[in-house]
Amino acid sequence: MTDSIELRVPFGQGESLRSHIFRRGTHEQVAFGLVSHATRGNRTVLCLRKLISLQETDYIPSASHGAVWRGSAMFPIMATAMEYQLGIVVIHAHDHAGPPMLSSDDLRSAEALVPMFRSRVPRRLTEQS
């Protein structure tokens, strides 16, 4: 069991990630990260290996959120994760001050996405120190 999770973004990819998820538009922008991991004591460290930004054509208009991404946009992401045995993280920004946290919409999405990712992408976390 880990007490914390840290996401490490390689030098040079951080600015690309920031510019994508904070891009202005009619909806929040989403990026997917393919990650490897290591466990250090009670901490899990996720290392970003590949950043995949969604294109505008990957979104469908939505009255409640401005837009949602097409499920089919995740197929190549899941295929790449399986090929390289990497995990998947969903990255987006909330427009508020303070530390990052999951919104109620994020929690509902996770309830649907996490089981799907786990069934298609091999579980990588182990109980090693």
Q: According to the model, what pLDDT value does residue 129 have?
A: 34
Would residue 43 count as lying in a domain? yes
Would residue 125 count as lying in a domain? no
Q: What is the CATH number of the domain that holds 115?
A: 3.40.140
Would residue 126 count as lying in a domain? no
List the domain range (segments joined by +) for residue 43: 4-120
Residue with tokens 């990497």: 86
pTM score > 0.75 for this model? yes
Give me the chain's average pLDDT, please.
82
Contacts of 95-104 spanning 24+ positions with Cβ under 8 A: none
What total number of domains does the chain contain?
Answer: 1
Q: According to the model, what pLDDT value does residue 105 have?
A: 78
- pLDDT at residue 128 greater than cutoff 50: no
Nearest to 92 by CA among 20, 30, 34, 15: 30
Nearest 5 degrees, angle CA 118-CA 11-CA 35? 10
